[in-house]
Every structure is written in structure tokens, then in C-alpha cells.
Structure 1
Amino acid sequence: MKRWIVLAIFVVGLGLPQATQATELQCFEQTGFCTDGRFLEYWRQNGGLEVFGYPLSTIDIVYNQDSQMHFLTQQFERARFEFHPEFAAPYDMLLGRLGDDLLRYRNIDSAMLPREAGATSGCLWFETTGHNVCNQANGLGFMSYWQNHGLNDPKLDAFGRSLQLFGYPLTEPAIETNANGDSVLTQHFERARFEWHPNQPDQFKVLLGLVGKESQKLVYGASADPSKLTLVGDTLFFTADDGVHGRELWTSDGTEVGTRLVKDLSVGTEWGGIYELAAVNQGVIFAVNKQDKDYQLWYSDGIEAGTRLIKSFVPNAKINNLKSLGNGIIFWANDAVHGIEPWYSNGTEAGTYLLSDINPGLADSAVSNNYGSYWVDYAPIAGGMAFFAQNNQIGNQIWWTDGSIANTRQISNLAISFGMLELEVLDQQHLIATAYQNTTMGVWNITLATGEQQLLASYPAIATTRNPASAIQLTQAGGKVYYLSKTQAGELSLWQTNGQADQTIQPNLQGYNAEHIVAANDQLYMRLTNPQGIQAGWWYFDSSQGLTQLTPLPLHIHAANNRLLGWESIAGGLRFYSTNGPNQALRYRSSVMGKQTYFPDTTNDRFFAIPSFQYGTELWSNDGSTLRMVKDIQP
């Protein structure tokens, strides 16, 4: 409290803070900083010390994260001034949204807070944000303070001037602890924080929080960047960097104490070389490569003693595309004898073997895109796994395996010039595959038992070198496979097939166009645009009922464990939505505020790697109603 009494002496007794004054420069020995020119003029005209406080920095060019541009900026105790000469005064000086910034740092998404029921008698009601601003005593309080201070713009009325200076209220009043450690009634605004100090003289009962000073002291966390999130039962395996051991294998049961390093494969801060994981036998099999070392296959049950090497492949021999199959995994590897071929491992050295040398000798059977990578797609069917392969003498093929050498067999064979792209299960006896030849893209029905091939539809291939796919996003739902056809101009249309050519048709989308499709609970969901190309949100579809809107929001949606997960990217954060069951509404759960450049990995519906301002990118968990950080792995 003593600090505010001293401030009062300066304001009332001197009229101006203790300073060395000059025509264009005013310096403050209280903080050791000066302000001048338009910054000083704006400070004096719009509230001075009471509203803005002392300067805390020099005037300098600073990067603005929201606009992603640089501006002349100066930080004050209760504000951040940003100079915009492209605008006419007084809007050539804009105030940072420090009130909102401090809320976001605490992962409070003010736009999603509950709205008040409506206007309260004797208060100011703000319909835009759904909050009232009221007085706390007769004629004194937040409302009176808001009304009696404002931007110096004679073109605005009193309400407009106050709104330009402080912005909208973002919260209801609540008791909070301020920067001085005092518990005070507090209400947050876009550019300020109001605090009620009932024991102070009337003119100081409402004080503005030191949002500028506090924002300067914010510590932005380092990132452990959890990745390769692989859920095995209730246990998560993943890689992370704690800043001490480098990027290594970790495990978590969803609690802070149960989130721990499994094994430091490379002692010290060097990267352990783990780059791919797959679930198997109450643990994971993972691929490791350290620069200029062998490619290795490892197994871990989540404890250091149970983490062991399975098999080493010679340098540059490659291991990739690990996929769970039965009691082990299928993967592709080059042992420098057979080329890149399909292998199987049950987590032991004896149980790790080549399934078939499909393209004999050193040649690869992995289908190449001619740019150093491969079209690898799996389809679990009939207790095994279907996959693409190629033989230089015969052509591109579809194979099936249950993980044994004896039951690894070719299903079908297309012409040697065909390129394979996607596989999807229609039912346990039929696969839908896309393949292209020259300028044509075909959609095929493949019978698993006989290898019979039926062309269902064809489309002009896209005239690009890397990806000619004009039939994409094969998705099974309700006994049908859906996909999008794509034109050279990028236009998309939805198709469906039950495996018969005459019933491979375009569903009636009532004039909408589909952009993306996913399936959950045997139901198809799609993101649509209207005929004018405007986003129309997500909908679900079936042949009998047609289209029903799920949400108007243009979310990034994934299906995981028969639920839908939705992510909305906003300025400086993410909003998380999910469903509780089939065709139920997507409900807002919670927000995490941080510098967001990508959507979280959603291979499961419980754990995510999410960036926040305070902690960096760390491991978060979803309990069905909200998100919470599991552990700050790299503090």
C-alpha cells in the first residue's frame, strides 16, 4: 500500500512526477527512463502517471507477435505504447492489449468465459463481451473510473473515449492477488486491470494494476516438445527433451509423478536417435538412428531394465513405417542384402525376420515416388495387414500378411506402369484402392480371397510430378467407402461406393462442397463450403437422413477412439472441443494459450503436445471435460 501513497504525493503535490523536464524530453529518476516526442505527448494528453505509470523502457523498435510486424514501442508500468504513423492522431499511438495478454498467460481464454445473464441495474452492460461494470460504493468504483477516463478525442462521446482507452471488460469482478501480494477485487479489461482498494482515500480506491510491469516480467517456458505419442493401454510412450538428457524415450500414466524418463540412450544432452514408435506387447518397439551409426530396432516395456536392443541394421540400411500387427509390428527395412522390404518383429531378436523379398536382390519393393520417399499405406483386414509393394518385373501389387512368412502373399497385381496411392477396407473381404496410370486415376475394388480387381471409377490424374492423386481421403463409414475427387483446378467433390461400379456415385450435398472427411462411430463427418466458397462448418451425413450440421465452426477435426476431437486456432492459442458419443454436439472443453503454429498430434484422444506461453510445448491430458498440463518436462 505504501507505494500508492507515495504515488499520490507526486500526483497531488507536484502535479507532475519528479522529473527532469525539457521541451521534448521528460526523464523519470524513479525508473531511470525517459520519454519524448509523440510518446510523451500522448502520455500527457490521455492520463499521464495515474493511467499509464512511469516508463520502463527506452523507445525502441519491437516485434509485435499478433501483427507479426515491427513498431516503435515503449513500455510503461500500466501500458505499452505502439507508434503507428500510418494512422491520424490520436490513433497513431495504439495501446497493447496487456490486460488480455496477462489473462492468456494464465491460459484464460476470456472470450469463452461464461457470460453474465444480462444488464444489472445501475451498471454498465457490455453486450459484446457479456459483462457488467459496476460501482463498489456510492458513486465510487469501476464504473465511475471507467466513465471518467478516456482517450483525448473530441470526436467521440464519453463512452467512446473510455472504450478506446481501456477496451471492453473481459471478466467479472473477482478477488485476486495483485503484483504487490494484496488480495483485492479485480476486473480485467482489454488494456487494463481495475483493482478496488476500499481502505484508500476515495480518489485512490480504484487503482490500475501494473499490467505493463508484470508483462515485462513474464517468463516464457522452454519446450520439451513431446512427440511420437503412442498410447499402449493406459500408458503413453513418447519422446521428449528435458534439457538435460537430450531427446529420449519417456512414459506417462497421466500424472506428474508418473511421467518419467525411461532410458537415456545417449548419455548427456545428445539426441537419443529415436524417430518412430509402434505399440506392441504392453510396450513399444521403436526405431533408432544416431548419425553415422547403425539403424537399430529397440523394445521397451516402460522401465529402464526392460528397454533393450532387438536388432541392428548396418549403416544407411533404413528402418521405417512401423505399424502394430498382432503381437508385433510390420515394418520396412533395408538390411543391405534385400533392399527395402517388409519385415516383422515381436520384440525379440529371434522373432524379427524378413517377411518376403518381394523385389528380389538389392532392389526395393517399397513403392517409390521417385523423390527418395515411398507410398506406404496399410489397411488392417481379416486379422492381418494389406500393403502396397512393387516388383520390377511384374509391377505394383497389393500384398497381405498376418505377420508370418507362410501367410505373406500377393493379393493382386496391377500393370507395371501403375502407381499405388491409398488403401481402405470396405469390409473384411474387400479393399478399395486408388492407383494411377499415365493420365488416369482409378478407384478399384480388390477381393481379398481371389485377388479379383474391379475398376469402379476413373478420374484425370493431377498434372503434378510429385502427387497425381485425383481421388483422395479414402474413408470407410457405414459399410461404404467415401472419398474426394480433385480436379486440376483444385475443386473437390464427394463420392461414395459400396464396391459396385454402378453404385459408385456422388451423394447429394444440397449444393455444398466437401473439403475434408473423417469417420467415427461408423458415421461420416465432413467440412463443407457453400457454393460461394464460404466455410460452412462440419456436418454428418447418411443416405437416409442426408446432411445434419455438427458445428458451424471451421475446426480442425480428427477421429480418435470413436470420438471426435476438434481444435480451433485463434490468435495466440487453441480451443479444444470434443464429442461424448455418436452424432452428439461438439462441446467446447477448454483453451490453451500460446504461440501456435500447428495442430496437436491426435493419434489418441487423451494426450497431446500443446504449446502455452508459460510452459512452452509440453505434455497435456484430456480427462473428457478439460485440458490440463501433465508435467513441465523442461522447466
Structure 2
Amino acid sequence: INSNGTLYFRANDGVRGAELWKSDGSSGGTSIVSDIRGGTLGALPNSVTNVGGTIYFTADDGIHGTEIWKSNGTSAGTVLVRDLIAGAVSSSPRYLTNVNGTLFFAASTSANGFELWKTNGTSAGTVMVKDILPGTGHSAPSGLMNIGGVLYFIASNGTNGRELWRSNGTAAGTTMVRDIRPGGSNSGISGITNINGKLYFQANDGASGFELWRSDGTSAGTVLVKDISAGSSNSYPVSLTNINGTLYFTATTAANGRELWKSNGTASGTVLVKDIRSGSIGSMPRELTNVGGVLYFVADNGVNGEELWKSNGTSAGTLLVKDVEPGAASSSPVYLTNVSGTLYFTARTASQGYELWKSNGTSAGTVLVKDISPGTRSSNVAGLQNVNGTLYFIADDGVSGYEIWKSDGTSSGTILVDDISGDSGNSAPKTMLVVGTRLYVVASTNANGLELFSLDLSVL
């Protein structure tokens, strides 16, 4: 994680086990922060979270069990915040979430079970917010999210099942938003998406099946948007995507199968955008991606195979962009990525295999960027990432193995960044992260194994 231009991460130097490390991108500036657990076992730091420049994480020093720790980047400033269960037993904190400078998390104690906690970084300021399921039982808070400065999460009070809750950090202000599925059954909330302060999600009230709901954080304002698949059957709305304040998603009905829908938050404004594949099979839209206010996605109309589509929210404006692999065969686009208004993706053709493509939304402007591995052999472009307006990705040109590449959208500007492995083997880069002017990546070499690498973006 990035904190004030320094990268913090977990690593094992083979001597001290897995501990917290930091790096400024140079060899000399990469060091262990603190050997929290002496010896070779390692403290196994996890859930590293930045709260106002202070690093919080979970770790086990071998004495107190797995608890909340914090660090200012120095060994002396890396300390246990509080031992929630005295001794070696772990409280097992998880779901560390920053809300306006307060760290919320879920943790377990013998007296209260698994409940919601918060900390300001001091032992005295590390307290249980509320014993939602009183006694030793567990309300088991999960899915902690900061939405507009309010903490939302899923929990069970033992009476109402697992439902949506919210908290302002006080016991009185920690309340169930609504018992969507009355009684002890769970409503199965998932896919929570914030659009202009309203939460949209999938839930089951026990009568309408899994359908689209919205909430303004109040019980009265938490309502079923529309029973898309009427009755107790499920439409299973997923891939909730915000395009200029309109919610797009995919849903299933008996008549149309899984297709593209949109909603303005009202029942009448929740409509099928287009029945792309007529009949009950469905076009199975996926990879919903916002590019300059236009929705791009992948779908199969039953004629052209699985290809790239776009939509402006109308049936007439929902169109096949290009049949990349002509006929019923599929190019199966994946990794749709917006870079400065251009859509990049990986697609397959019989003549070139899986390679890098781009689109401006027109058929003529949807083109192969470069056949990185010439001929029918695939370069298997993956891990597309927008790095300060330049596309970075992983590919195999058949010579250097799987390495880091970048592209400006032209064939000549699509180049190997660095052959980290130094031969035809794969460094298999992963976990690319930009901190300041440096790109950090975890990659492997025969000589050193899996290690952290740093690339200077200013000279790439």
C-alpha cells in the first residue's frame, strides 16, 4: 500500500519470516520496518491499511496472537495498538476500513464474540462499537464499506438474520438499516454500488426472490426497486455499473434470459435496454465498462458469437461494435480497460490468437493494436492497467516470455518495457502498483525467485 510516496508490503527475507517492509523504489531504500516476531516464523502482517499516513495492519508477534498494529515507518514506531484478548489467543481482526480517519474492523473476544470495533490508534481508543448480538454470540460483521463517510456492513443481531447495517462509530448510531427479509433468514445482500448517495444492491425479501434494491440509509428509504422476474423467482441483478448517474446491470427473466438492464431508481425507470439475443437464452452481457459515458460490454447475439458491444441506454443505441472474429465464432473480448477515452481489450482471432485490441466505438476504429506474438500463436495479453494515461499489461512475445509491456495505441508504440527474467523464461509479473513516479511489480527470476521490482516511469 502507498503512504506518502512510500510502498509498504509484506516480504520474507528467508531469515526473519514474513514481516512488514517498505521501499522508496531503490535498493538502499528498501528495508524491513520492524522484526515484529523474532526468529524465522514471521509476524505475517496482513490487511495493510493507510489511515492519514499511519499504517495499520494485523500481525502476530508470537506473544499476543493476531491483533491490530500500527506503524509510522520506523521500528520504534511500529507497535501493538491493543491486545483485545489478553495472552496468545487471537482476536483475529479483519475488514480494516478507514472512515474519516477512524479505523473500523471486526474482531472476536471471548466475552462478546465477533463484533464491530474501532480505533484511533491508541489502546484506550480501541473499543467495541456495539455488541450487535449481545453476549458471546457473533454478529459477524462483514463487507465493511465507507460510503459517503458512513460505515455500512452486513451483520446479524440473532433475530433478523444477516442484513444491512450502518454506523457512525457510536453504539446508538449503529443500527440495522432494514430487515429486508423479515425474521431470522438472511436477505443475501451483495453487489452494493453507490450512485449519488443511494446504495443499489441485490437482495431477497423472501417473497420476490433476488432482485434490485436501493437504500438511502434509512428503513423507509430501503425499498425493492422492481420485481424484474415477477413472483418468487430470481432475476439475480449483477455487474452493477454507474454511467453518469444511471445504473446499468444484467438480469435474468424467463422471457429474455440474461440481458442488459438499466434503472433510475424507480420501478417504471427500471427497464430492459435491449433483448440482444431474442428468446429465453440471453446474450449473457459481461465486463460492463464506462468509457466517457458510453457503456461497453461483451455479449453474444446468437449470430456473431461473443463480441464487443456498446450502449447509450436506448435499444437503438445498443449496438455490436465489431464482429472481430467474423461469423458465429467468438473473439471473446476480456480485460476491457479505459485509458484516456480509448477502450483496450484482449480478443482472439483464428489468424492471430489472443492479442491486444483497441476501440473508439466504431467498427473501423476497432483494430488490432499489435500482433505481439506473430502468427496464430497468442501473446495472451492480460492484466491491462491504466498507469497515468498509458496502458501497461503482461504479454508473451514468444521470445522473452511473460513480461511487462506498454502501449500508446500504435503498433510501433507497443513495446516490451523490461525483460525482467533476462531470457525466454517468464518473470510472470503481477500486482502492478504506481507510487509516485515508480511502478512496483512482483516478478520472478531464476536467480532470485519471486521479488519486488521497481521501474522509473519517468524514463520508460
Counterpart mapping for 1:94-243 below 5 A: 225-232=44-51, 234-241=53-60
Looking at structure 1, the residues matched to 128 and 44 of structure 2 have their Cα atoms a distance apart, in angstroms, of 25
Q: Which amino acid aligns with 1:448?
A: G
Alpha-carbon offset, residue 340 of structure 1: 1.4
1:473 aligned to 2:287?
A: yes
Alpha-carbon offset, residue 338 of structure 1: 1.0
Whether the 8 Å CA contact 1:284–1:301 is kept in 2: the answer is: yes
Change (3 A) 1:470 1:450: closer
1:453 aligned to 2:270?
A: yes
5+ long unaligned stretches in structure 1? 1-104, 106-220, 368-375, 627-635
Counterpart mapping for 1:367-382 below 5 A: 376-382=190-196
Looking at structure 2, the residues matched to 394 and 417 of structure 1 have their Cα atoms a distance apart, in angstroms, of 7
Whether the 8 Å CA contact 2:403–2:427 is kept in 1: the answer is: no
Looking at structure 2, the residues matched to 286 and 270 of structure 1 have their Cα atoms a distance apart, in angstroms, of 18
1:356 aligned to 2:178?
A: yes
Bigger mean CA offset, 271-280 vs 382-391:
271-280
Whether the 8 Å CA contact 1:578–1:589 is kept in 2: the answer is: no
Q: Which amino acid aligns with 1:531?
A: A
Whether the 8 Å CA contact 1:412–1:452 is kept in 2: the answer is: no
Q: 1:543 aligns with which of 357, 361, 365?
A: 361
Aligned position for 1:166:
none
1:61-111 Cα deviation digits (max 9, x unpaired): xxxxxxxxxxxxxxxxxxxxxxxxxxxxxxxxxxxxxxxxxxxx9xxxxxx
- Structure of greater Rg: 1
Q: Give the structure-1-normalised TM-score.
A: 0.50
1:308 aligned to 2:308?
A: no
Counterpart mapping for 1:378-527 below 5 A: 378-405=192-219, 407-414=221-228, 415=230, 416-437=232-253, 440-449=257-266, 451-455=268-272, 456-457=274-275, 470-485=284-299, 492-508=306-322, 510-511=324-325, 512-519=331-338, 521=340, 523-527=342-346
Whether the 8 Å CA contact 1:231–1:604 is kept in 2: the answer is: no
Whether the 8 Å CA contact 1:273–1:290 is kept in 2: the answer is: no
Q: Which has the higher contact order (CA 8 A, sep 6+)?
A: 1
Q: Give the structure-2-normalised TM-score.
A: 0.66
Looking at structure 2, the residues matched to 486 and 243 of structure 1 have their Cα atoms a distance apart, in angstroms, of 54
Whether the 8 Å CA contact 1:281–1:327 is kept in 2: the answer is: yes
Looking at structure 2, the residues matched to 564 and 259 of structure 1 have their Cα atoms a distance apart, in angstroms, of 37
Change (3 A) 1:310 1:417: same
3-state SS in 2 of match to 1:355: strand
1:319 aligned to 2:141?
A: yes
Change (3 A) 1:406 1:555: same
Whether the 8 Å CA contact 2:442–2:453 is kept in 1: the answer is: no
Looking at structure 1, the residues matched to 408 and 130 of structure 2 have their Cα atoms a distance apart, in angstroms, of 43
3-state SS in 2 of match to 1:502: coil
Change (3 A) 1:534 1:609: closer
Looking at structure 2, the residues matched to 541 and 256 of structure 1 have their Cα atoms a distance apart, in angstroms, of 49
Q: 2:156 aligns with which of 328, 331, 334?
A: 334
Alpha-carbon offset, residue 498 of structure 1: 1.5
3-state SS in 2 of match to 1:476: strand
Aligned position for 2:67:
248
Change (3 A) 1:507 1:580: closer
Looking at structure 2, the residues matched to 405 and 295 of structure 1 have their Cα atoms a distance apart, in angstroms, of 25
1:245-277 Cα deviation digits (max 9, x unpaired): 544334456677766554444455544322323
3-state SS in 1 of match to 2:165: strand
Alpha-carbon offset, residue 446 of structure 1: 1.2
Looking at structure 2, the residues matched to 244 and 525 of structure 1 have their Cα atoms a distance apart, in angstroms, of 50
Whether the 8 Å CA contact 1:326–1:384 is kept in 2: the answer is: no
Looking at structure 1, the residues matched to 314 and 408 of structure 2 have their Cα atoms a distance apart, in angstroms, of 34
Looking at structure 2, the residues matched to 242 and 525 of structure 1 have their Cα atoms a distance apart, in angstroms, of 45
Whether the 8 Å CA contact 2:283–2:301 is kept in 1: the answer is: no
Q: Which amino acid aligns with 2:348?
A: T
Whether the 8 Å CA contact 2:441–2:454 is kept in 1: the answer is: no
Q: Which amino acid aligns with 2:320?
A: Q
3-state SS in 1 of match to 2:103: strand
Bigger mean CA offset, 227-236 vs 383-392:
227-236
Alpha-carbon offset, residue 223 of structure 1: 6.0
Q: Which amino acid aligns with 1:443?
A: L
Counterpart mapping for 1:615-630 below 5 A: 625=457
Alpha-carbon offset, residue 535 of structure 1: 2.3
1:295-339 Cα deviation digits (max 9, x unpaired): 211223344443322123433543222222111222111111111
Whether the 8 Å CA contact 1:222–1:617 is kept in 2: the answer is: no
Whether the 8 Å CA contact 1:294–1:313 is kept in 2: the answer is: no
Change (3 A) 1:505 1:625: same
Looking at structure 2, the residues matched to 238 and 617 of structure 1 have their Cα atoms a distance apart, in angstroms, of 23
Aligned position for 1:136:
none
Looking at structure 2, the residues matched to 592 and 246 of structure 1 have their Cα atoms a distance apart, in angstroms, of 39
Change (3 A) 1:523 1:357: farther
Change (3 A) 1:293 1:301: closer
3-state SS in 1 of match to 2:320: coil
Whether the 8 Å CA contact 1:433–1:443 is kept in 2: the answer is: yes
Alpha-carbon offset, residue 234 of structure 1: 4.7
Aligned position for 2:376:
none
Q: Which amino acid aligns with 1:354?
A: M
Structure richer in strand, relative to its length: 2
Count matched residues. 389
Q: Which amino acid aligns with 2:263?
A: I
Change (3 A) 1:448 1:579: farther
Whether the 8 Å CA contact 1:331–1:342 is kept in 2: the answer is: yes
5+ long unaligned stretches in structure 2? 1-13, 15-39, 326-330, 373-378
Change (3 A) 1:487 1:306: farther
Structure richer in helix, relative to its length: 1
Whether the 8 Å CA contact 1:344–1:352 is kept in 2: the answer is: yes
Aligned position for 1:275:
94
Whether the 8 Å CA contact 1:288–1:296 is kept in 2: the answer is: yes
Aligned position for 2:29:
none
Q: Which amino acid aligns with 2:310?
A: Q
Looking at structure 2, the residues matched to 462 and 607 of structure 1 have their Cα atoms a distance apart, in angstroms, of 47
Whether the 8 Å CA contact 2:291–2:341 is kept in 1: the answer is: yes
Looking at structure 2, the residues matched to 585 and 602 of structure 1 have their Cα atoms a distance apart, in angstroms, of 20
Looking at structure 1, the residues matched to 42 and 448 of structure 2 have their Cα atoms a distance apart, in angstroms, of 7
Change (3 A) 1:504 1:404: same
Q: Which amino acid aligns with 2:313?
A: G
Aligned position for 1:73:
none
The two structures, once aligned, show a CA RMSD in angstroms of 4.9
Looking at structure 2, the residues matched to 398 and 251 of structure 1 have their Cα atoms a distance apart, in angstroms, of 39
Alpha-carbon offset, residue 281 of structure 1: 1.2
Q: Which amino acid aligns with 1:380?
A: N
